[in-house]
Structure 1
Amino acid sequence: MYPIACLARPLLAASVVRLLFAMFFGLLMLVCPAAAEIALKDLSGREVRLAAPAQRLLIDDGRFLIALSLILPDPVSVVAAWPRDINRIGKRTFEAYKAKFPAIENLAKVASSAGSLSVEQVVAARPDLAVFSLGSQPSDEERERIEAAGIPVVVIDFFVHPLTNLEPSLRLLGMATGRAAQAEDFLAFRRAHLDAIRDRLAGLTQGERPRVFLEPHAAMTADCCNSPGRGNVGDIIEADGGTNIGAAIIPRAFGKLNLEYVIAQNPQVYIATGGSHMEGTAGLLVGPEYSLDRARETLRGVVARPGFAGLAAVKGERVHGLSHQLLNSPLDLITVEILAKWIHPERFANLDVDTTVAEVNRRFLAVPIEGPNWVDLD
């Protein structure tokens, strides 16, 4: 028969072991707390909750890939499906992504925001988050069908009102992918640059705002003329101290002006957009695929169209060309800076946009921007 003291020792040891285990797991919970839900509020005002960071995104615009490139070292790794809308990011840019991230060739293809949404296509891609453009978001019925398949849906915007909506859009992507800190770093950088533009325009009077005509996809077709309205790059023109001539008669973000209206407005600054997607047209060819001489040659052809020679912008040699791939983009701060120089060259004479691009490339982008992306006629 064992003494009582001998029996007590094993019981005491077991209690100590249980206590140590409890302390260990308590410390583990402090060091590695249970993953909290990620709450996302999108631009449609809806709230979506994710149990964990998304690893399979569906995007309906290739420019969203550029946004992911700002916050992730491998943006392709979190994309399950995209529209393969290479024209929106540029041929050379796509080739650079493909060279660095070959998996881009294996992504499922879905309709772009410019096409017709297919719920079946979305469900077949099996994303854990579907990201749509504000201007082409799913209908309530389509959203219900997508969500019934277990796929949460969010809406972001770099197109309708870029200056207002880019920040919450990129913040949402950062939170959704577990890269909130990286998103905030870029947004702070962008905010500082936008504030600097605003400060230099302080005290600007209405009479000091030149009339600006920005023609997207200039001379792509024989009819004239594409233009931003209330929104889109029109917001940037106004923020840069210009007057967007399209805003007075186009109530949407984008529309058309007739040549007679353009001539009557007599813009003092003219900006054409173009890119590799304009091959085979009479339009502007600008971007990393072309030399500055080639870009300037095609810009000269754009303003050689009937009715343009008499414009104040042409007579005053304030004619410029911009890569369309810089519009509706998470890199809008570059567009803001270059347009500021064109609209108010005297106020922004020492603004070096190339330095901004170099810093974005160095600090943020997984795939650097290549140029030239803008050109002056003279």
Structure 2
Amino acid sequence: MPLPRLLFGAALALAAFLPLPSHAADTITVTDIAGRKVEVKAPVEKVILGEGRQMYFVAALDTDQPFKRVVGWRDDLQKADLDGYRDYLAKYPQIDKIPTFGGFKEGTFDVEQAVSLRPDAIILNIEAKTATDDAKLIEKLARIGIPVVFVDFREKPFENTDASMRLIGKLFGKETRAEEFIAFRKEQIERVTQTLAKANPAQPLVMMERAGGYSDDCCMSFGNENFGKFVEVAGGRNLAAKIIPGTFGVVNPEQIIAANPDHVIVTGSNWELYVPGGAWVGVGSGADKAKARAKLAGLMKRAAYTGVKAVKDNKVHAIWHQFYNSPYQFVAIQAMAKWLHPELFKDLDPEATMKTLYERFLPVPYKTGYWVSLTDKE
């Protein structure tokens, strides 16, 4: 929804009295994921994150001081990934004092607050673009000297993850670090794709349920992108690929039963602040795997999975939902490949890959718990 003219008038007036950033910086032109040419003073020293979960890529680049540039962020990290938020809070207690914002997409972003923080840039996810275009927010922010750049790890992650990391690398002056991450990601994906290309195994049918148990509805899923694409890269067939035309959508229980998938994979996270005591599967950093398995088993008692082969064969798994919106997707692909083709990938250790990701690129200690299967012993 468009913000009132008076609000922008106040913001413009406020901007006129605020000092310009004092640091020496060059003006560079970058091309963001929306294809826009944007002029930014770089390296940026003050940034507003349009989504708190953008810390997943910020931390991989600014590993030594991940919050040094962040002067404001959306209030979703704590709600969407409570365990991950607590990991960062334990090491960086100052983060609970970072100003928080509502979302551009929801029309609750506070422009006056943003102006008062004098950011060098605002980073938004591509899914916010329609709302910002409708409200002409980008043009209005440009009038007060605040550039907006779009990134994407969610809508088309295989197309846009590397480009997004390179873009942020340029903004932060961390191009070399970004390339190191991109090379690591490529190497880890190829450990799956090259093995599959040589073996050319049969592709099991996979029902990918998005955020199972988050609500009473059943069943949200993924089309040809995001986790739907992860399934294909991991050597499976995505049940919803021909049902859902875009990235996200719904599969009816009758369609699941008729398709009779070989595997069911449910995404989950600690959503206690969103849905207290919900049926969601709380996988993530340091998760209680026994509790997660019990909740996963409970979800399989819903009508959508009645008599389904995957449930009969106990080929049911849960995986951290936030892989869908971060540059860490390669770990999910490895975990899924091992589930779908256990003999082919018996020497692949996604747990070790995740640990290496933390040790090389992230500032907080690694804790197991990002996925679980009903057949797990621990």
1:326 aligns with 2:320: no
Written as runs of structure 1 = structure 2, the 5 A alignment for 1:241-320 is: 241-277=235-271, 279-288=276-285, 290-320=287-317
Deviation, 1:364, is 1.0
For each residue in 1:54-103, what CA deviation from the matched residue of structure 2 results, as whole angstroms up to 9, or x when unmatched? 11111122221111111111111111111121356522221221222233
**Structural RMSD (CA):** 2.0
Match of 2:43 in 1: 53
Three-state SS of the structure 1 residue aligned to 2:221 is strand
Task: Name 1:188's counterpart in structure 2.
Answer: 183
1:94 aligns to 2:85 (yes or no): yes
Letter in 1 for 2:41: A
Q: Does 1:139 align with 2:133?
A: yes
Give the CA deviation at 1:321. Answer: 0.9
The separation in 2 between residues aligned to 1:353 and 1:170, in whole angstroms, is 22
**Are positions 1:350 and 2:347 aligned together?**
yes
What amino acid does structure 1 have at the position aligned with 2:260? N
Amino acid at match of 1:224: C
Q: Which residue of 1 aligns with 2:171?
A: 176
Cα contact 1:163–1:236 (8 A) shared by 2:
no
3-state DSSP of counterpart to 2:266? strand
User: Does the CA-based 8 Å contact 2:52-2:76 persist in structure 1?
Assistant: yes
Please say if residues 351 and 368 of structure 2, whose CA atoms lie closer than 8 Å, have aligned partners that are also in contact.
Answer: no
Q: CA deviation at 1:224?
A: 0.9
String of CA shifts for 1:289-316, please: whole Å, max 9, x gaps: 5322111111111111124141111112
| Cα distance in 1 for residues equivalent to 2:166 and 2:244 | 30
Over 3 Å counting, the alpha-carbon distance change for 1:92 and 1:175 in structure 2 is same
The equivalent residue for 2:224 is 230
Structure (1 or 2) with the larger CA radius of gyration = 1
Aligned residues: 344
Task: Please identify, of 96-105 and 254-263, the stretch whose mean Cα deviation from structure 2 is larger.
Answer: 96-105
Listed one character per residue, the Cα deviations across residues 232-270 of structure 1 (whole Å, up to 9, x for unaligned) are: 211111111211111212112111111011111111110
Identical counterparts, % of pairs:
34
The within-5 A match list for 1:54-93 is 54-72=44-62, 73-87=64-78, 90-93=81-84
Matched, 1:160 2:155: yes
Answer yes or no: is the 8 Å Cα contact 2:185–2:330 preserved in 1: yes
What CA deviation, in whole Å up to 9, does each residue of 1:98-126 have, x standing for no partner?
A: 22223312212112366325362543442
Unaligned runs of 5+ in 2: 1-23
Partner deviation per Cα, 1:145-200 (whole Å, 9 max, x = no partner): 01111011100001001122111111111110111111111111111111221101
The residue that corresponds to 2:118 in the other structure is 126
- Report the secondary structure of 2:305's partner residue: coil
**Secondary structure in structure 2 of the residue aligned to 1:80:** strand
Question: Residue in 2 aligned with 1:215?
Answer: 209
With structure 1 as the length reference, what TM-score do the two structures score? 0.85
Matched, 1:107 2:101: no
CA distance 1:144–1:114, change in 2 (3 Å)? closer
- In 2, the alpha carbon distance for the partners of 1:154 and 1:189 equals 25
Q: Partners of 1:253 and 1:125 in 2: how far apart?
A: 35
Tell me if the contact between 1:122 and 1:146 (Cα under 8 Å) persists in the aligned partners.
Answer: no
Runs of 4+ residues over 4 Å off in structure 1:
none
Amino acid at match of 2:95: I
Q: Secondary structure at the match of 1:63?
A: helix
CA distance in 2, matches of 1:131, 1:362: 26
The whole-number CA distance in structure 1 between the counterparts of 2:159 and 2:337 is 18
How many Å separate the matches in 1 of 2:195 and 2:286?
A: 34
Q: Cα deviations across residues 197-228 of structure 1 (Å, max 9, x unaligned)?
A: 110110565x8121111111102222210101
Paired residues of 2:80 and 2:269 also in contact (CA < 8 A): no
